[in-house]
Amino acid sequence: MRYSILAFFFLVAFPVQAQAKVNIFACEPEWGALAQEIGGEAVDVYTASTAAQNVHFLRAKPGLLSAMRQADLVFCNGAALEAGWLPVLLQKAGGPDVQPGKPGHLLAADHVKKLDVPARIDRSMGDVHPDGNPHILLNPRNIGIIAEALADRLKTIDAANRQNYDNRLNSFLRRWKPLTDEWERLGASLRGMKVVVYHTNWAYLINWLALESTATLEPKPGIPPTASHLKAVLTAVEGHDVKAILVAPFENPEAAEWLAGKSGIPVIRLPYTVGGSDKAGDLEGLFSETIRLLREASP
Ligand SMILES: [Zn+2]
């Protein structure tokens, strides 16, 4: 009896030590979702942004600072996507083990081949991405590669749970690979489908499914649409059988709607990331829903 009271005392007094979960600070919803998939019960995931936010322009708010203070692993997109706020957070609130180059710092984009790496950069090109296009998430093959990198990293910083991470990675990949094959089978009919995009954040989806980007509503990356640019876009799309104008939840739809009104091309709001629509509640839903909406626009 005395023993069980003592045991009870320890459970109540030291619940955190008993669990010793890895605190993961994920910058975007897709990486938060992947961290939960691979970490399971062994991790606590904090996700710094929602699908309604454009992560190019997040601000280092107090809530983010306190989450960063707790972090054992910073799991972000990289390729300068978070250049405006992650370095500030790391400097103000990040511990020594989560700084760039340390095991507690994992950037998804470091593990996949990037599109649109510029040969040269100057200011006239707009807010261009110097390390290549950072919006790597919308290719499920990238997600599989990054899942492996994440499991490796978790095994390094939490060796006691190696088996958990291996098991969860394997079960994720056993599910993910046939799903990817199925999406590619369904997506085959979309090959050559012409689309207009707001920003180059659809580049990996376009590349993966061999769609064709006819025009971009932003005159340059990060520069909002102008009247003269939109007129040029209208001329470029007329008579070219463009099927859809792709817009993310956080993008201002005004320019897309103007173009839709003038050209008759429908605007499609794709979820873009996990949580971007009701049916995109997890990574699987994100891709299933994206493929479904594209097929609906290009029957
Ligand atoms: Zn971008």
Q: Does the structure show a pLDDT above 90 at 103? A: yes
Q: Does domain 188-297 have CATH number 3.40.190.10?
A: no
Q: How far is the CA of 202 from the centre of ligand 1 (A)?
A: 9
pLDDT tens for residues 152-189?
Answer: 999 999 999 999 999 999 999 999 999 999 999 999 99
pLDDT at 257: 97
Please give the distance, rounded to the nearest whole angstrom, from the Cα atom of residue 148 to the centre of ligand 1.
Answer: 25
Question: For 44-91, what is each residue's pLDDT tens digit?
Answer: 999 999 999 999 999 888 999 999 999 999 999 999 999 999 999 999
Is residue 80 left, alpha or beta, with left meaning phi > 0 and alpha meaning psi from -120 to 50?
left
Distance 65 CA to ligand 1 centre (A): 24
* Residue 14: per-residue pLDDT: 53
Q: Is the pLDDT of residue 125 over 50?
A: yes
Across all residues in the chain, what is the average pLDDT? 93
> What was the pLDDT predicted at 119?
76
Instruction: Give residue 16's pLDDT.
Output: 44
Report residue 79 as tokens: 């390729």
> What pLDDT score does 126 carry?
64
Q: Is the dihedral of CA 224, 241, 271, 70 positive or negative?
A: negative
Reported pTM:
0.91
The ranges assigned to domains in the chain are 11-182, 188-297
Q: What's the gap in Å between 203 CA and the centre of ligand 1? A: 10
Q: How far is the CA of 81 from the centre of ligand 1 (A)?
A: 7
Q: How far is the CA of 155 from the centre of ligand 1 (A)?
A: 31
- Residue 134 CA to ligand 1 center (angstroms) comes to 6
Q: How far is the CA of 54 from the centre of ligand 1 (A)?
A: 9
When pLDDT is averaged across residues 201-227 and rounded to a whole number, the result is 95
What local confidence, expressed as pLDDT, does residue 271 receive? Answer: 98
Residues near 24 by beta carbon (within 8 Å), at least 6 away in sequence: 32, 35, 39, 43, 44, 45, 46, 71, 72, 73, 74, 75
6 pLDDT higher than 90: no
Distance 224 CA to ligand 1 centre (A): 12
What's the pLDDT score for residue 13?
A: 54
Q: How close is the Cα of 7 to the center of ligand 1, in Å? A: 53
Q: How far apart are CA 166 and CA 171, in angstroms?
A: 9
Q: What is the CATH number of domain 11-182?
A: 3.40.50.1980
Share of the chain above pLDDT 70, in %: 91
CA of 55 to the centre of ligand 1 (A): 9
